[in-house]
Chain A
């Protein structure tokens, strides 16, 4: 591996930008493809698929044996609302490999007793969220039921282009939320990105079951190709 490729690879990884290193395993020739350049790449279908699955693989293309080594950032989950659902959601998400942070300005909720070992930020979203570096490899859920907390958090998630945005509440609650967010300048396309009611429709009742429904939905958005994603949602 050429030093400049290694250097660039490490820089992209540090910046949490997904890349795939393509190696011709016969000649040793290599090139690094950034996710933003996939669309114009001759291997785009393979690159898209492997990145979506987060899996490295050998493929044959143009008579060459190529190894696609996928470097995807660790996904983050930001949970706004240190509520009962979050107590089940945080450890579940962590077991699925997510870096989890819980944000809630209400210190009675965001307490280490309720969230052992989970990073907690007991601040309002405008203070808590910017240092978390919420990005396109972040799933974002707002579950406080309190518009004063959820709404600014959701606006931040839109701005950072999170791959998944979910918010707790019935269809009626969500319609009202849409009106409020619109009034604060949110685009229609942003509001349409919110998964609400949150989670796959599996008839979840308990907080733990709702957590499963949420993580199932996040997994579907992360792993499925766009068309199947629509069908699952």
Chain B
């Protein structure tokens, strides 16, 4: 019930209105001990500035990189991060969980 992502969605709207390319990344599924629950989100603009978190720091760098592509292409993308996922990504969740993150363009 905690009101979350307050400034994140507001920032998404403000940045978009200010003419920036903006993407939103949202945790849509978790397995095992994931650091942030489904619904946690991260907003990224085309300067690489981001707010919020999808994993408490473990995979944000990779999400930001992917988000840049999504801003460019406009096509949403599903990312998956897990502890044994090093072939696909050079990052993972040290806590042993797996998360899926939906990345979409805003606007």
Contact = CB atoms under 8 A, between A and B. Distances in A.
A9 B38 contact: no
A184 interface: no
20 contacts: A1-B24, A1-B106, A3-B106, A3-B107, A6-B12, A6-B13, A6-B106, A6-B107, A7-B13, A23-B26, A54-B1, A55-B39, A56-B38, A56-B39, A58-B38, A69-B26, A69-B38, A74-B2, A74-B3, A97-B2
Given A2-B107, A25-B102, A58-B29, A74 B1 contact: yes
Interface residues of B, number: 25
B28 interface: yes
A73 B3 contact: yes
A34 to B, nearest CB: 16
Contact of A23 (B3, B12, B102): B102
Interface string A1-28: 1110011011001000000000101001
B9, B26, B39: most-surrounded residue (chain A CB, <10 A): B39
Closest 8 CB pairs of A and B: A56-B39, A28-B76, A74-B3, A67-B28, A54-B1, A56-B38, A3-B107, A97-B2
Interface of B: 1-3, 6, 9-10, 12-13, 16, 24, 26, 28-29, 37-39, 75-76, 78, 100, 102, 104-107
Binding site secondary structure of chain B: mixed
Interface of A: 1-3, 6-7, 9-10, 13, 23, 25, 28, 54-58, 67, 69-70, 72-75, 97, 222
Contacts of B28: 23, 25, 56, 58, 67
A25 B78 CA distance: 8
Contact of B104 (A1, A9, A10, A58): A1
A23 B12 CA distance: 17
Contacts of B78: 25
A226 to B, nearest CB: 18
A67 B76 CA distance: 14
